[in-house]
């Protein structure tokens, strides 16, 4: 029953309601109804300024309170998810790429996406590897290609901006150096993972990054403070074999020149004892063809099934709670990845086996002293020649 109908309904009779009054009252009501201009079919009354077709006042959605998610929100959440769960990359990257293809439709949004991924990859410890893999995947699967360049081209332009500041960065404040070192290690990962499809044959690496890494190493060695040298060692341990092979293939001797710089630094630079040991181990690693000579010599028909000592010489690693594990453990891959995730690029808090290392001011071991003396004598002999 409508509001208008309620107005014309006769009131109920009370117990004291007599016939006379009823007759007289009834006549009065009848006369009111007959003289009223109200109609049940009249248009509904709407107050001035009220939009009867706007139901937003009655719309209750908790998401609307916070507004629609932005590209930055979505990408930041996804990158945070990958940072905490790097193992989910394979299962999730296709879905997020589909979302980005429907979202990133302009040059401005593509540049924003590049900046978001670049920032995460160069500011979050241990995300450089995952960030480089993500960059490679998006470079092949993002649809948009504006006039300014596709995803890969814009990413390399962004890296070029930081590259141009290298000489100032290696001599900057500790925070500036730390940021630059993060960029250097990300560029190393990018060189290893960013594939460029060629017309024929397998994908190739970005040659522009090959030259950039050489120049970055030269800049790091030009200011041989401990932080720069540690970064250079990490970069060469990460990419040394690949860089060496690429330069040899093109007939260039850049790796030999870099190793010569390292030898000079070991002899002359005022670096710490620990960093000097790291440099010596790196020279030794390169002399064994980045460990591949030892690996080839150790290769045999032995397997875990037919040789009980197969894992005897494997290194022992430790989980966060101190539990030891080796390659013989069934869940070795998962535990090893967890150990890598908790290592920090910028501070040698963890050793190569996942153990925390402390800066004890003890003397060199006798073997290390002997190795260092032999190295110095050999280097001096080469100089005199």
β-pairing verdict for 204-205 and 195-196: antiparallel
In this prediction, residues 254-269 reach a mean pLDDT of 92
**What per-residue confidence (pLDDT) applies to 353?**
46
**What per-residue confidence (pLDDT) applies to 68?**
82
* Banded model confidence at residue 134, pLDDT cuts 50, 70, 90: very high
Determine how many CB atoms are found less than 10 A away from the CB of residue 354: 22
**What per-residue confidence (pLDDT) applies to 126?**
87
pLDDT, the chain, mean: 78
Distance between CA 3 and CA 7 in Å, rounded? Answer: 7
**What per-residue confidence (pLDDT) applies to 50?**
52
Quick check: 14 pLDDT over 60?
A: no
In this prediction, residues 318-340 reach a mean pLDDT of 67
In this prediction, residues 134-150 reach a mean pLDDT of 95
**What per-residue confidence (pLDDT) applies to 132?**
96
* Banded model confidence at residue 88, pLDDT cuts 50, 70, 90: very high
Q: Are 285 and 241 in contact (CB under 8 A)?
A: no
φ, ψ of residue 329 to 5 degrees: the values are: -70, 140
- Look at residues 220, 203, 227 and name the one whose alpha carbon lies nearest to residue 346: 227
Quick check: 9 pLDDT over 60?
A: no
Q: Which of 27-31, 323-327, 355-359 is predicted least confidently?
A: 355-359
In this prediction, residues 103-126 reach a mean pLDDT of 94
Distance between CA 346 and CA 186 in Å, rounded? Answer: 13
For residue 190, the surrounding DSSP H or E stretch is helix 174-193
In this prediction, residues 155-181 reach a mean pLDDT of 96
Q: Which of 83-87, 286-290, 380-384 is predicted least confidently?
A: 380-384
Q: Are 130 and 86 in contact (CB under 8 A)?
A: yes
**What per-residue confidence (pLDDT) applies to 168?**
96
Exposure string over 154-187, b if 16+ CB within 10 A, otherwise e: bbbebbeebbeebeebbeeeeeebbbbbbbbbbb
Distance between CA 293 and CA 305 in Å, rounded? Answer: 25
**What per-residue confidence (pLDDT) applies to 301?**
57
Q: Which residue reads 């590049």 in tokens?
A: 114
Give per-residue pLDDT as tens, 286-305: 999 998 866 555 555 556 56
Write a three-state SS string for 43-68.
CCCCCCCCCCCCCHHHCCCHHHHHCC
Give per-residue pLDDT as tens, 196-232: 987 777 888 999 999 999 999 999 999 999 999 999 9
* Banded model confidence at residue 319, pLDDT cuts 50, 70, 90: low
Distance between CA 232 and CA 217 in Å, rounded? Answer: 6
**What per-residue confidence (pLDDT) applies to 51?**
55
């Amino acid at each position: 029953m409508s509001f208008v109908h309620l107005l014309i309904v006769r009131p109920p009779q009370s117990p004291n309601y007599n016939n006379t009054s009823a007759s007289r009252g009834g006549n009065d009501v009848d006369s009111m109804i007959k003289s009223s201009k109200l109609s049940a079919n009249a248009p509904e009354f709407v107050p001035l300024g009220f939009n009867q077709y706007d139901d937003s006042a009655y719309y209750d959605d908790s998401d609307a309170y916070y507004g629609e998610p932005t590209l930055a929100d979505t990408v930041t959440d996804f990158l945070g998810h990958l940072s905490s769960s790097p193992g989910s990359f394979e299962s999730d990257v296709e879905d997020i790429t589909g979302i980005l293809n429907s979202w990133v439709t302009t040059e401005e949004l593509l540049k924003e996406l590049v900046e978001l991924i670049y920032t995460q990859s160069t500011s979050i410890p241990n995300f450089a590897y995952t960030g480089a893999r993500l960059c490679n995947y998006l470079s092949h699967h993002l649809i948009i290609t504006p006039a300014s360049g596709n995803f890969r081209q814009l990413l390399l332009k962004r890296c070029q901006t930081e590259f141009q500041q290298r000489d100032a960065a290696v001599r900057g404040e500790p925070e500036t150096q730390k940021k630059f070192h993060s960029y250097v290690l990300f560029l190393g990962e990018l060189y290893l993972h960013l594939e460029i499809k060629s017309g024929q044959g397998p994908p190739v690496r970005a040659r522009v990054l090959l030259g950039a890494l050489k120049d970055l190493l030269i800049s790091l060695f030009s200011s041989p403070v401990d932080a720069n040298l540690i970064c250079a060692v990490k970069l060469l341990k990460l990419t040394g074999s690949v860089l060496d092979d690429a330069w040899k293939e093109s007939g260039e001797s850049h790796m030999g020149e870099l190793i010569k710089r390292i030898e000079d630094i070991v002899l002359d630079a005022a670096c710490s004892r620990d960093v000097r040991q790291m440099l010596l181990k790196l020279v030794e690693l390169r002399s064994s063809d980045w460990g591949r000579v030892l690996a080839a010599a150790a290769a045999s028909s032995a397997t875990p099934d037919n040789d009980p000592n197969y894992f005897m010489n494997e290194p022992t690693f430790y989980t966060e709670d101190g539990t030891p594990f080796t390659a013989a453990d069934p869940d070795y891959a998962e535990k090893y990845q967890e150990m890598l995730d908790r290592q920090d690029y910028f501070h040698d808090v963890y050793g190569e086996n996942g153990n925390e290392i402390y800066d004890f001011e003890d003397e060199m071991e006798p073997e290390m002293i002997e190795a260092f003396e032999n190295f110095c004598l050999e280097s001096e002999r080469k100089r005199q020649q």
